[in-house]
Amino acid sequence: MSETAVMDVEKLSAEQAEAELARLAEEIARHDRAYHGEDAPTIRDADYDALRARNSAVEARFPDLVREDSPSVRVGATLQSQFEKITHRVPMLSLDNAFNDDDVADFVARIKRFLRMDGDIAFTAEPKIDGLSLALRYEQGRLVSAATRGDGVTGENVTQNARTLNDIPDQLTGPDVPEVMEVRGEVYMGKADFLALNQRMAEEGKQTYVNPRNTAAGSLRQLDSAITASRPLKFFAYAWGDVSTVPRGSQFEMVQLLGEWGFSINPLMGRFESVEAMLERYRLIEEQRAGLDYDIDGVVYKVDDLALQERLGFVSRSPRWAVAHKFPAELATTILEKIEIQVGRTGALSPVARLTPVTVGGVVVSNATLHNEDYIAGIGSDGLPIREGRDLREGDTVTVYRAGDVIPKVMDVDLSKRPADAQPFVFPETCPACGSVAVRDLNAKGRPDSVRRCTGGFMCPAQAVEGLKHFVGRDAYDIDGFGDKQAEAFYNWGLVMNPADIFTLQKRNERSLTKLQNRDGYGKTSVDNLFAAIEERRSVPLDRFIYGLGIRHVGRTNSKLLARHYHTIEAFLAPMENNVALLEQFAGDGAALTKAVSKDEVEGGETWGSLVSIDGLGTVAIQALVQFFADADRRRVVDELLAEVTPEPVELVVSDSPVAGKTVVFTGTLEQMSRDEAKAMAERKGAKVSGSVSGKTDLLVAGPKAGSKLTKAQSLGIEIIDEQGWLDLVGN
């Protein structure tokens, strides 16, 4: 866990945010595998979504730190192999979350700002069913396939099982049925049916089930459809995916039409035109929650007008026009038995609370984050007291909170129950893994950073092992048979000390007297399979190569931005080489250097400018890139790795759009749309949006009050059009 996990997002430094996003990505991926892949979640849906809420909040404040493995760009989990796969023609995305009234008001305000609308906007509100998402494809009115959400892009083919549900019609009847209609909804099991099933299982001496959601998911994903047919599964329809035509103009009307076609729709769904009315429906549904025969964990709000939904579009893994308002979570009291320090990939020393196991919201919690040494001492990132200055000590009775900001976290301490011999916790000033000095660098305000980091670098075994785990992770090299366990074992055996060693392992094994196949857990077949899997990864996409390097502040999203911008490994490495001297000249102050480059005040600033021009890549990430390649040891490992692998170039975007593959800059005041909407439109059309003008800019869209960017574009002979010209060009 990260030491940043309990801090208010607004108080996070960039370094703390980077550590927190790494922790969240790992934890959410683990829960994804349990929930989507194994139908055995270890936390409630509300708690899981709360983890995503914190991840989204951190990313919103630090957009340049978004990781490639971020939950915000990923849905679901990898699929099991027992079912055939079906690719969703329209991805099945998840929803962003709101946890209080202010969040809902902010959601509505964001939509109005995006659309530049001051008047009322209608929204629908409906219960969020705690079940298994399902997509049903109908052609000429007949059911032809049914697929689970899967990873959001590809799901499992459960068509035969879906046909056994009484709530899923085999033939659509009623008005205006399109030639192609993909109906989406939630498969669930009623509470009464679940209790009856468990009672029957107990009477038969069989193992009972944990909860209705898991049971419904497992029942739908049976290889024998007769088992599915024997289970009392139900289905609520509430959305649609791929359709040949949309016969109604609003969300509410479309859902009512689904009911006319024979689907069950939720009777608590309503249409509202104010935040107050939306919240009133939320409270009504919350009051009725216990009496409903199905589990829900919140209320979903959606913009009712489908034309406005189209304009709003999507961001990452979620639609802009919808949000899930979650129900509150719970508190529990337990004993903080021990405080342990973990060392992460970037050297951050992260305190973790080992707790006497306690059940919170139906889940047993035995560990919690303690953020950092200041948090333990009762001090916030601003230097002011938190918890009224109460520190945390081993043996304390603490309150554990699971929801909203992060799950789980230690919220407070009961001093009246503190043991007489409890001592203040002394945070180590040396790395517990390698003994190197652990320091708190000064932040931008000249104060010690909240994160204490090991200075051992590659010499620190904890950093080295975590770096190897990152390199072979699913979103980097993803070597079959080489995961976290193997990374740790091979490092401890002295066989793989850095990523390049992975690709020389087979040759060294052939020369070694101690063969890998003679070690415990390995035989000839497993070793041959491992070496074959390693050989398959000698060529990987450029973005995976960049991500695998484990550069701070360069996650999955930034890696893709860099790969799409530079296309080849050679082009990517060039600015890293040329910017080291500039960064040293500005004493490591990337923000000051960026400002100087933008004003053409720096000799040789073109390559730094090429990094700055990448829309979405912030100064912190740029500085981290340059510093990474300025480190001789890290560059040596990169060179050794490049001697063994070949990063695949990124192909240019091919599209019918007139702006596909072009770099577009917007400047001045846009009058017909917000800047965010213009940017989203350009990206949908295949263009790259940059924040600065350079020789690589293809088009400048200039509104009133355009300033220096317009002047520079004119001097460079770049094509310039106004806002209406842009809309005419892209066909909107």
Q: Which residues are tagged catalytic?
A: 128
**3-class SS shares of the chain: helix, strand, coil, % to 5:** 40, 20, 40
Token pair, residue 676, equals 């965010």
Give the Cα separation of 257 and 259 in Å (integer): 5
From the centroid of its chain, how far is CA 4?
17
SS3 104: helix
Q: Which long-range contacts (CB under 8 A, 24 or more apart) does 724-732 make?
A: 724/672, 725/701, 726/678, 726/701, 727/672, 729/658, 729/659, 730/657, 730/658, 730/659, 730/681, 730/682, 730/685, 732/681
Give the Cα separation of 392 and 104 in Å (integer): 34
Counted residue by residue, the chain has a size of 732
Q: What is the DSSP string of 525-582?
A: HHHHHHHHHHHHTSEEEHHHHHHHTT-TT--HHHHHHHHHHH-SHHHHHHHHHHTHHH
Write down the residue that tokens 């089930």 correspond to: 209
- Name 303's Cβ contacts closer than 8 Å, sequence gap at least 6: 111, 121, 122, 123, 251, 309, 312, 321, 322
Give the Cα separation of 698 and 707 in Å (integer): 18
Q: Are 239 and 321 in contact (CB under 8 A)?
A: no
Q: What is the DSSP string of 106-130?
A: HHHHHHHHHHT--S---EEEEEEE-
Give the helix/strand (H/E) hosting 380: none
Burial 653-666 (b: 16+ CB within 10 A, else e): eeeebebeebbbbb
Give the helix/strand (H/E) hosting 612: helix 606-612
Dihedrals φ, ψ of 353, to 5°? -90, 125
Give the Cα separation of 64 and 620 in Å (integer): 7
Give the burial class of 180: count Cβ atoms within 10 A of its Cβ; 0-12 exposed, 13-18 middle, 19 or more buried: middle
| Strand 699-702 to 719-721 pairing | parallel
Give how far Cα 484 sits from Cα of 404, 465, 468, 481, 489, Å. 30, 9, 8, 10, 9
Closest of 532, 499, 407, 555 to residue 45, by C-alpha = 407
Burial 514-535 (b: 16+ CB within 10 A, else e): eebeeeeeeeeeebeebbeebe
Cα angle: 116, vertex 121, 124; to 5 degrees? 140
Give the Cα separation of 631 and 647 in Å (integer): 21
Give the Cα separation of 47 and 26 in Å (integer): 15
Q: Are 285 and 127 in contact (CB under 8 A)?
A: yes
Give the burial class of 445: count Cβ atoms within 10 A of its Cβ; 0-12 exposed, 13-18 middle, 19 or more buried: exposed
Give the Cα separation of 165 and 168 in Å (integer): 6
Q: Are 454 and 462 in contact (CB under 8 A)?
A: yes
DSSP 8-state assignment for residue 206 = P
From the centroid of its chain, how far is CA 486?
26
SS3 304: coil
